[in-house]
């Protein structure tokens, strides 16, 4: 059954939130703390190895109750059941959204179109496990009898970002294989990667759910041509494998059926790292680590599915986005991991969040009259402190930020880790408290400045504070905790889509540019001109053609 469709702004809860917002919008976080001694404890959720502190957000217990009331009025519980039970909730594409089934245990049952998909999921996992073990142990030999040293993942969007982010984030757990990712149709990208590779010891994993994506097929074709410059045709089966739903097209490309790792259309591209799309992860980290990643995600699935809303991490986190986006008119959210390992995390979440909830038509097909998906951006701390934090502290925009940190560092250098984490804590505190005029003046007292200079400088040194942050503190970065963290954001995306009454699992907006690029490519290749372009585009095309 499809998800219900209600314009959230027509609900009683929304109206209550609006009047509550008027009473809270100018309150300072400092005052909220001063007036409630239990605030920090009451607005913190401790679950497994996660400590999630929501208390530095511009909310009270009443705000949370009202937001939870909104979720209940919009039947979030029912939507969650439909999500986990394989209902066709991606109605515009006529599909279930069942990536959670990919990490469900063997004995569970998830029915999509009346068929229990779990046995099929575990069959593919076994294939991934066997192949991983053969490659990692060196038993899988290339055509000339040498073991594999390098793995190249060829894919784009969800067929690249997830595996690339996970492999990079978990590089501490990596084995001896060197992993590379080719995604951009920019020929310089694949050339830079293959230039140092030995075709005799390289395995290419072509990942494309549809096996129609221009970037991936162009890269796969060019790389195969480069491979065949030095290797015979029979070598292809030892060096090329593919992940796709489109088995026929993979075979037409020239890959043996035995080398195809199938996936299903009920797995969305941006949620597919848990499917065979994660083959490169398994190869890079070993199957056990890959399995732990999935297990972590499953634990978060269970938390999300069963926990009451007021102690449910993805639910509260999603409701906070709604609060800032729709009441405070905040347009963006920053993701700031205090670990260099999560360098690619915000980039990965950009696809997950913005491709999912960048929609302006509701589930009834009407244009929405409220804001939906937020802009997502971020970089690891402390680097980002020296880049864009100035704007968060003293700019004109309200930017709620998630701070993600780990209690233990992986190499155990306590000295550095304490410095790193002291910056995390200091930033959330500074963003909240800011610095008052009195504090600025007190600081000036210590310096020998004239009163005139002090008066001039004071306005620039004041920080208003009251900038909201959510602090996620996790015991240690492991495959399991990363699985939980990714799944947390996946469920947050789902909850937001339910509240905003939009379809989060299609991506028609990406298609228009693809279609136009195809017809312009024809013009570039065939010396054709088209009268359909606007003058600006036509001039650009002409300039390019005349100067290339």
- Catalytic positions are 355, 386, 514
Length of the chain: 548
Please identify, using beta-carbon distances, which residue of 29 and 156 lies nearer to ligand F6P: 156
Least Å from the CB of residue 267 to ligand F6P: 10
For 99, left (φ over 0), alpha (ψ -120 to 50), or beta?
A: alpha
Which residue, 296, 314, 323, 239, is CA-closest to 21?
323
Question: Crossing angle of helices 61-73/479-500, nearest 10°?
Answer: 70
Least Å from the CB of residue 270 to ligand F6P: 5
Please report whether residue 178 would count as binding ligand F6P according to CB under 6 A: no
Q: Are strands 332-337 and 375-377 parallel, antiparallel or unpaired?
A: parallel
**Torsions phi, psi of 245, nearest 5?**
-95, -15
Please identify, using beta-carbon distances, which residue of 449 and 510 lies nearer to ligand F6P: 510
**Interacting residues of 165 by C-beta distance below 8 A, sequence separation 6+:** 344, 345, 347, 348
Least Å from the CB of residue 424 to ligand F6P: 32
Structure tokens at 169: 């984030």
Please report whether residue 269 would count as binding ligand F6P according to CB under 6 A: yes
Q: How far apart are CA 298 and CA 121, in angstroms?
A: 14
Site for ligand F6P in 349-408 (CB under 6 A): 355
Binds ligand F6P (CB under 6 A): choice among 57, 409, 471, 507: 507
Please report whether residue 278 would count as binding ligand F6P according to CB under 6 A: no
Please identify, using beta-carbon distances, which residue of 200 and 355 lies nearer to ligand F6P: 355
Binds ligand F6P (CB under 6 A): choice among 1, 40, 449, 510: 510
Q: How far apart are CA 297 and CA 188, in angstroms?
A: 36
Segment lying near ligand F6P (by CB under 6 A), choices 3-11, 78-86, 150-158, 525-533: 150-158
Which residue, 219, 216, 259, is CA-closest to 239?
259
Please identify, using beta-carbon distances, which residue of 3 and 250 lies nearer to ligand F6P: 250
Q: By three-state DSSP, how is residue 141 classified?
A: strand
Which residue, 176, 184, 147, 179, is CA-closest to 165?
179
Size of the site for ligand F6P (CB under 6 A): 14
Binds ligand F6P (CB under 6 A): choice among 13, 60, 159, 427: 159
* CB environment 194-231: b (16+ within 10 A), e (fewer): beebebbbbbbbbbbbebebebbbebbebbbebbeeeb
Least Å from the CB of residue 244 to ligand F6P: 8
Q: By three-state DSSP, how is residue 205 classified?
A: strand
Q: How far is CA 324 from the centre of its chain?
A: 20
CB 134 within 8 A of CB 150: no
Q: How far apart are CA 27 and CA 30, in angstroms?
A: 8
Please identify, using beta-carbon distances, which residue of 403 and 505 lies nearer to ligand F6P: 505
CB 204 within 8 A of CB 152: yes
HSE, side-chain direction, 13 A CA sphere, residue 508: 8
Please identify, using beta-carbon distances, which residue of 52 and 151 lies nearer to ligand F6P: 151
Please report whether residue 270 would count as binding ligand F6P according to CB under 6 A: yes
Site for ligand F6P in 196-225 (CB under 6 A): 208-210, 213, 216
Which residue, 295, 352, 377, is CA-closest to 158?
352
In the block, residue with structure tokens 């694949």:
190
Binds ligand F6P (CB under 6 A): choice among 158, 296, 314, 381: 158
Least Å from the CB of residue 487 to ligand F6P: 18
Least Å from the CB of residue 199 to ligand F6P: 24
Q: By three-state DSSP, how is residue 401 classified?
A: strand
Bridge partner residues of 406 (DSSP): 474
Least Å from the CB of residue 483 to ligand F6P: 19
Please identify, using beta-carbon distances, which residue of 172 and 508 lies nearer to ligand F6P: 508
* CB-CB neighbours of 106 under 10 Å: 9
Please identify, using beta-carbon distances, which residue of 208 and 339 lies nearer to ligand F6P: 208
Binds ligand F6P (CB under 6 A): choice among 89, 156, 241, 279: 156
Please identify, using beta-carbon distances, which residue of 276 and 336 lies nearer to ligand F6P: 276
* CB-CB neighbours of 2 under 10 Å: 12
Least Å from the CB of residue 277 to ligand F6P: 8
Least Å from the CB of residue 511 to ligand F6P: 8
Interacting residues toward ligand F6P by CB under 6 A: 156-159, 208-210, 213, 216, 269-270, 355, 507, 510
């Amino acid at each position: 059954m499809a998800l219900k469709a209600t314009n959230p702004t027509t609900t009683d809860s929304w109206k209550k939130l609006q009047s509550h917002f008027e009473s809270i919008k100018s309150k300072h976080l400092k005052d909220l703390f001063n007036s409630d001694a239990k605030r920090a404890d009451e607005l913190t959720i401790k679950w497994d190895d996660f400590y999630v502190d929501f208390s530095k957000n511009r909310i009270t217990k009443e705000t949370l109750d009202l937001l939870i009331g909104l979720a209940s009025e919009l039947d979030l519980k029912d939507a969650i059941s439909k999500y986990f039970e394989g209902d066709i909730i991606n109605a515009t594409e006529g599909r279930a959204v069942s990536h959670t089934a990919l990490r469900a245990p063997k004995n569970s049952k998830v029915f999509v179109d009346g068929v229990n998909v779990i046995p099929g999921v575990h069959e593919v996992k076994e294939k991934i496990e066997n192949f991983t073990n053969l490659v990692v142990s060196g038993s899988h030999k290339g055509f000339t009898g040498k073991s594999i040293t390098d793995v190249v993942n060829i894919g784009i969007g969800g067929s690249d970002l997830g595996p690339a982010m996970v492999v990079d984030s978990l590089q501490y757990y990596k084995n001896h294989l060197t992993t590379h990712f080719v995604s951009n149709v920019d020929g310089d990208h694949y050339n830079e990667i293959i230039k140092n590779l030995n075709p005799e010891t390289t395995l290419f994993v072509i990942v494309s759910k549809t096996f129609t994506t221009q970037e991936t097929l162009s890269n796969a074709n060019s790389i195969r041509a480069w491979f065949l410059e030095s290797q015979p045709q029979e070598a292809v089966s030892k060096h090329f494998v593919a992940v796709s739903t489109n088995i026929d097209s993979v075979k037409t490309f020239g890959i043996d059926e035995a080398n195809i790792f199938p996936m299903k259309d009920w797995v969305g591209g941006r949620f597919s790292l848990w499917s065979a799309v994660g083959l490169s992860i398994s190869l890079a980290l070993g199957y056990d680590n890959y399995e732990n990643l999935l297990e972590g995600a499953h634990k978060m699935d269970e938390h999300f599915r069963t926990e009451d809303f007021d102690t449910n991490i993805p639910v509260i986190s999603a409701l906070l986005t709604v609060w800032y986006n729709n009441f405070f008119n905040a347009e963006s959210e920053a993701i700031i991991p205090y670990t260099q390992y999560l360098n690619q995390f915000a980039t990965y979440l950009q696809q997950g969040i913005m491709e999912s909830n960048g929609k302006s038509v509701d589930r009834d097909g009407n244009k929405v009259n409220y804001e939906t998906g937020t802009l997502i951006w971020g970089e690891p701390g402390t680097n980002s402190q020296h880049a864009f934090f100035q704007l968060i502290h003293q700019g004109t925009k309200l930017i709620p930020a998630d701070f993600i940190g780990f209690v233990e560092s992986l190499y155990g250098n306590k000295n550095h880790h304490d410095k790193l984490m002291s910056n995390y804590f200091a930033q959330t505190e500074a963003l909240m408290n800011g610095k008052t005029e009195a504090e600025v003046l007190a600081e000036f007292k210590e310096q020998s400045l004239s009163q005139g200079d002090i008066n001039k400088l004071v306005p620039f040194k004041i920080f208003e504070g009251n900038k909201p942050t959510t602090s996620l503190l996790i015991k240690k970065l492991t495959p399991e905790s990363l699985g939980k963290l990714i799944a947390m954001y996946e469920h947050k995306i789902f909850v937001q889509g339910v509240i905003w009454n939009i379809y989060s699992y299609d991506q028609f907006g990406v298609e228009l540019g693809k279609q136009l690029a195809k017809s312009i490519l024809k013009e570039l290749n065939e010396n054709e001109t088209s009268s359909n372009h606007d003058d600006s585009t036509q001039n650009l095309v002409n300039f390019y053609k005349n100067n290339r």
